[in-house]
Amino acid sequence: MQSGGNKMPALNGQAKVRVLLMLGLMTVWSTPTWAQVYSCTTSNGTRYQSRNPCPKGSKPPPFTYHGPKTARPHYGSPAAPSVPRAGEELAYMGSRCASMQEAVRTAPARGIDALTIRELRRNFELECQDERRRAQQQLSREKRDSRQLADERLKTEKQHEVEVVEAGQKLLEQCAEMRRSLQQRKQRPSLSEGETRDLALFQDRYQQRCVQTAAR
C-alpha cells in the first residue's frame, strides 16, 4: 500500500501482536489508577458510584460506623450540692453571728464561688468564733441537764412501779388473813352482842379494804 510516495512495510504475525500489546499498555498507562470514585445518592435515596463528582442536589451516603458505641456525654444540669444540717447552737447565738453561720452553710447550694466562701468563713471565725463556742457549751449543758432529768424521772417511775407491786402484794396477804379471821369468827357457836357487833364491823372493813379495792 502506498501513501504520498512513502511505503509502509508489511507486518508479519508476531509484529502485529507486539504492536497490539504496546497499544494496550499505552492505554493502561494513560488512565490514572488513582482516579477518585465518588459515591452519590439520588433524591429518592438510590446510591450509585461515579468517577465524576456528584451532581448538585445529591447527597453523599451517610457514614456507617461498625465499632463499639461510645456513651454520649450527659449535658443536663448538675445536681445541686447538698446543704449540711444547721447547727443546734444557732438558737443560743446572736442574730448577726447566726446569719453569718447560715451564709457559710448554704453558700455552696447558692452557687457562691470557693474564694468568696473562704472569705465568709474567715470573717465568721474572726467575729463569731467565741460566741459560737459559748453557744455550744450552753447547748451541751442543757442537753446534759435534760438527760439527768430524764434519768431521774425514769428512776422515779420504776421506783413507783416497785412500790405499787409491793403494796398490792401486801394487801393480798392482809386480805387473806382477814378472810381467815372472818371465817373463824363466823364458825363460833354462839356470839355475844358485842362479838356480833365486832364481827359486823370487821366484815365491813374486809368489804371496803379487799372486795371493793379489788373491784377498782
Dihedral of alpha carbons 165, 170, 176, 178, sign: negative
Question: Is residue 194 in a domain?
Answer: yes
Instruction: Read off the pLDDT of residues 71-113 as tens digits, 9 standing for 90 and up.
Output: 565 555 566 667 888 889 999 999 999 999 999 999 999 999 9
Alpha carbons 73 and 56: distance in angstroms, whole number: 36
For the chain, what percent of residues have pLDDT higher than 90? 38
Q: What is the pLDDT of residue 104?
A: 93
Alpha carbons 91 and 79: distance in angstroms, whole number: 30
Question: Is residue 66 in a domain?
Answer: no
Question: Which of the four pLDDT bands, split at 50, 70 and 90, describes residue 135?
Answer: very high
Question: Is residue 92 in a domain?
Answer: yes
What pTM did the predictor assign?
Answer: 0.45
Question: Is residue 64 in a domain?
Answer: no
Instruction: Read off the pLDDT of residues 137-164 as tens digits, 9 standing for 90 and up.
Output: 999 999 999 999 999 999 999 999 999 9
Question: Is residue 199 in a domain?
Answer: yes
Q: Which stretch of 33-37, 52-56, 120-124 has the lowest confidence by average pLDDT? A: 33-37
Full domain range(s) for residue 112: 88-215
CB 43 within 8 A of CB 58: yes
Question: Is residue 198 in a domain?
Answer: yes
Query: Strand pairing partners for 39?
Result: 49
Domain count, the chain: 1
Question: Is residue 77 in a domain?
Answer: no
Question: Is residue 139 in a domain?
Answer: yes
